Chain A
Amino acid sequence: MTTLTLAKALGLGLRRALEDDPRVVIMGEDVGTLGGVFRVTDGLQADFGADRVMDMPLAESGIIGTAVGLAFRGYRPVCEIQFDGFIYPGFDQIVAQVAKLHYRTAGNVRMPITIRVPFGGGIGAVEHHSESPEAYFTHTSGLRVVACSNPQDGYSMLRQAIASDDPVLFFEPKRRYWVKGEVDETLDLPLHAARVVLPGTDVTLVTYGPLVSTALDAAAAALADGISIEVIDLRSLSPVDFATVEASVRRTGRLVITHEAAQFGGVGAELAAVITERCFEHLEAAPARVTGFDTPYPAAKLEEHFLPDLDRILDAVDRVLGRQNSLTGWVASA
């Protein structure tokens, strides 16, 4: 067991994958000498050579498209997209090729490609550097879309993603890169499984990636108020481990979902719909969502408003508990 930052844990995951399987290759912009702009691939090129850790020309479509060809040849490419907002030039290759080749060829061709994407806001960056594009990919069947939230998951989920014979969009919460945690290389939870991070009885709070720690903070604050929140880290955004969420909502009767991505058509919309369909008779209140607004990601000085925070999450918790909240208005207490 070692204590590592998320960035270092991911780097260790890549290192082990390179050691274990000669068919693993890392591809991306600035992943070599520089070690990636977040230093996740730091030192890998020096140790494994430029054949295994490849700085690629500046073209995302080129990176993903050549990964497809490498996969045809039996390789297991791990592509790094430098920032969330730069995945779009590679979008066509991901949704039209990577996602569909297995289906199209009746299982004859595998696409064991992992696409790592630093995502989310909260670092005061310029435009295109703080987006949450996960919903575009969850809408495409054939892709596994996952988001890690801590060093342990960063390490284990990345190992599983690379080992997976399915293509995996691997989202890394960039504002958590420098947060430390314990990493046990032997620990494993299946890639598709959600995790109950904190058990609770009054409200189920579902989230993933950067907001898991915010959700835990909210739960701690609520507990001081006598409210017990169960926090679930979804981990896999597609396919979703609905069973874990269902079991929780059956017990608590209340669901709050929070993510940074915009609300409309987001992962939260799908969760709310499915849980409502499957747990209608167990719900005490309509599910509530706390998300980014349906606006483009704003300038850095506005991001604290765009991003869900502890108070907005607690406001939604009040909503599902039927307590006074910003939507009902505040009636002066007697």
Chain B
Amino acid sequence: MRETVSADNELAELLGPDWVPVQLLTPDGDRVAHPDYDPWIADLTDDDLVALYEDLVVVRRIDTEATALQRQGELGLWPPLLGQEAAQIGSARALRDDDFVFTSYRENAVAYCRGVEIAELMPVWRGTALSGWNPFDVGMATPAVIIGAQALHATGYALGCQKDGVDSVAIAYFGDGATSQGDVNEAMIFAASFHAPVIFFCQNNQWAISEPVGLQAARPIAGRAPAFGIPSMRVDGNDVLAVMAATRIALDRARNGGGPMFIEAVTYRMGPHTTSDDPGRYENPAEKAEWAAKDPVDRLERLLAAAGLLTDGVRERVASRAAAVAAELRAGCLGLADPEPLTVFDYVYATGDPELERQRSQYSAYLRLFDAGQFGDAS
């Protein structure tokens, strides 16, 4: 089996010091200085740090609650983001409301940051609808399950922003596995060719289901973008500050006509790929334990504690917010009614279609006879 790219040091020797992921916050909660990245988060107040901590705790709770709902049979499936909270929160909190987000299925923390109603996270996983929220309400497209498709969508959206002369930016989130898809590579080519204001945000969580990142990329993924003409950054994905700084750098550059940028957030998927997955068949317990020690939530918690910002009041407030969100999630999930049968025909075309209407009315007649108990006793 191939190695995962945990041998950062070895690769750093090959590729130079830039390939060691940028870190501003150590696992022990120490703040490390970085001349290029520090200025981009210099404005963060104590309250901002506490708010980021609250985000991290709340989205972890969303994940726990949803996983529990799946285990209780209330959700068909759930893709946990455990371990990836900082990568999602740090980047999403750097965005402006008029930026637009294109993700795959695991970015529920990003959705939370965009202001998606908690209950709207549920229909897709409960199977009551194919999408939860209106993309235009929150500046975030419906998640793409087809790996990598959204990278092209983000690039196209960015082209639109460019044509419209606005300084909004599009961001595409995808995994390390997705970088093998043609779509992601084509997106980088198009973005570079047109200088599109798009950010490619790769959460390298080391796995594509059972396949380690080494199967998708023989070198750090961030090394691929420069060859397309897109500058890239490699950051510690469990460090919310580094991720936020990197995303702000990329956003600022894109807003000011600098074109696309690629961020590789190096993190780890601590849970299964989805609740249907059996990671026991492939994961490496030692490697996982190593990453557990780099937990993104603990890290910020240590910083706040050392700075005296983690008062009882703060702890209580964060805990009660997390509990409230979890309760909202549960209630929202359990409150989702099964869709009416005939809605299966809704929204196929924006303008309707007589032949489909015919199928609908035939099925409607069928259901009515069925309901009236007329099948079975007719002869």
Q: Footprint of B on A, CB under 8 Å?
A: 29-30, 32-35, 37, 50, 55-59, 61-62, 85-86, 88-89, 124-129, 225, 263-264, 293-296, 298-302, 305-306, 311-312, 314-315, 323-324, 326-327, 329-330, 333
Is B374's CB within 8 Å of the partner chain A? yes
Cβ-closest chain B residue relative to A124: B76
Q: How far is the CB of A65 from chain B (nearest CB, A)?
A: 10
Cβ-closest chain B residue relative to A293: B359
Q: A58-B147, A305-B363, A326-B362 are in contact. Are A127 and B130 (CB under 8 A)?
A: yes
Is B378's CB within 8 Å of the partner chain A? yes
Q: Footprint of A on B, CB under 8 Å?
A: 1, 76-77, 105, 123-130, 145-147, 177-178, 180-183, 208-211, 215-216, 276, 278, 281-282, 338-339, 341, 343-345, 348, 355-356, 359, 362-363, 365-366, 369-370, 372, 374-375, 378-379
Cβ-closest chain B residue relative to A304: B341
A contact residues around B339 at 8 Å (CB): 299, 301-302
Cβ-closest chain A residue relative to B276: A37
Docked-complex contact B145 and A294, CB < 8 angstroms: no
Q: A33-B281, A89-B146 are in contact. Are A305 and B370 (CB under 8 A)?
A: no
- Bound-state CA distance A85–B149 (Å) is 13
Docked-complex contact A128 and B76, CB < 8 angstroms: no
Q: How far is the CB of A262 from chain B (nearest CB, A)?
A: 10
Docked-complex contact A293 and B363, CB < 8 angstroms: yes
Q: A57-B177, A126-B77, A295-B356 are in contact. List 20 more A-B contacts (CB 8 A).
A: A29-B209, A33-B210, A57-B215, A58-B181, A59-B181, A62-B180, A125-B77, A126-B145, A127-B130, A264-B355, A293-B345, A294-B348, A294-B355, A296-B130, A301-B338, A302-B339, A329-B369, A330-B372, A330-B374, A333-B378
Q: Find the residue from A35, A61, A85, A89 having the highest chain B CB count within 10 A.
A: A89
Q: A59-B181, A128-B146 are in contact. Are A326 and B216 (CB under 8 A)?
A: no
Docked-complex contact B375 and A299, CB < 8 angstroms: no
Partner among B125, B216, B365 whose Cβ is within 8 Å of the Cβ of A58: B216
Q: How far is the CB of B64 from chain A (nearest CB, A)?
A: 20
Q: How far is the CB of B120 from chain A (nearest CB, A)?
A: 14
Docked-complex contact A58 and B177, CB < 8 angstroms: yes
Some 28 contacts from A to B, beta carbons below 8 A apart, are A32-B210, A33-B210, A55-B215, A58-B178, A59-B182, A61-B182, A62-B182, A86-B147, A89-B181, A89-B182, A89-B183, A127-B130, A128-B145, A263-B359, A264-B355, A293-B356, A294-B356, A296-B130, A299-B128, A300-B76, A300-B126, A302-B339, A302-B343, A305-B344, A305-B363, A311-B370, A326-B365, A333-B378
- Bound-state CA distance A32–B281 (Å) is 10
A contact residues around B366 at 8 Å (CB): 312, 315, 326
Docked-complex contact B126 and A301, CB < 8 angstroms: yes
B contact residues around A293 at 8 Å (CB): 344-345, 356, 359, 363
Partner among A86, A298, A311 whose Cβ is within 8 Å of the Cβ of B375: A311
The 9 A-B residue pairs with the shortest CB-CB distance in the complex, in nearest-first order: A300-B127, A34-B210, A57-B180, A326-B366, A58-B177, A33-B282, A59-B180, A58-B180, A30-B210
Docked-complex contact A299 and B210, CB < 8 angstroms: no
Docked-complex contact B359 and A294, CB < 8 angstroms: yes
- Bound-state CA distance A50–B130 (Å) is 38
Docked-complex contact B378 and A330, CB < 8 angstroms: yes
A contact residues around B211 at 8 Å (CB): 29-30, 55, 57-58
A contact residues around B282 at 8 Å (CB): 33-34
Docked-complex contact B365 and A329, CB < 8 angstroms: yes
Docked-complex contact B345 and A295, CB < 8 angstroms: yes
A contact residues around B379 at 8 Å (CB): 225, 333
Docked-complex contact A86 and B146, CB < 8 angstroms: yes
Cβ-closest chain B residue relative to A303: B127
- Bound-state CA distance A59–B356 (Å) is 35
Q: A29-B208, A126-B77, A327-B362 are in contact. Are A305 and B341 (CB under 8 A)?
A: yes
Docked-complex contact A301 and B345, CB < 8 angstroms: no
A contact residues around B369 at 8 Å (CB): 326, 329-330
A contact residues around B124 at 8 Å (CB): 126-127, 299
B contact residues around A305 at 8 Å (CB): 341, 344, 363
Docked-complex contact B181 and A127, CB < 8 angstroms: no
Docked-complex contact B180 and A34, CB < 8 angstroms: no
Cβ-closest chain B residue relative to A291: B359
Cβ-closest chain B residue relative to A298: B344
Partner among B76, B183, B362, B363 whose Cβ is within 8 Å of the Cβ of A126: B76
- Bound-state CA distance A59–B211 (Å) is 12
Cβ-closest chain A residue relative to B124: A126
- Bound-state CA distance A127–B105 (Å) is 11
- Bound-state CA distance A295–B357 (Å) is 11
A contact residues around B362 at 8 Å (CB): 326-327
Docked-complex contact A30 and B77, CB < 8 angstroms: no
- Bound-state CA distance A314–B125 (Å) is 33
Partner among B338, B356, B375 whose Cβ is within 8 Å of the Cβ of A315: B375
- Bound-state CA distance A264–B359 (Å) is 11
Q: How far is the CB of B281 from chain A (nearest CB, A)?
A: 5
Q: How far is the CB of A300 from chain B (nearest CB, A)?
A: 3
B contact residues around A128 at 8 Å (CB): 145-146
B contact residues around A37 at 8 Å (CB): 209, 276
- Bound-state CA distance A61–B362 (Å) is 40
Partner among B1, B209, B359, B372 whose Cβ is within 8 Å of the Cβ of A30: B209
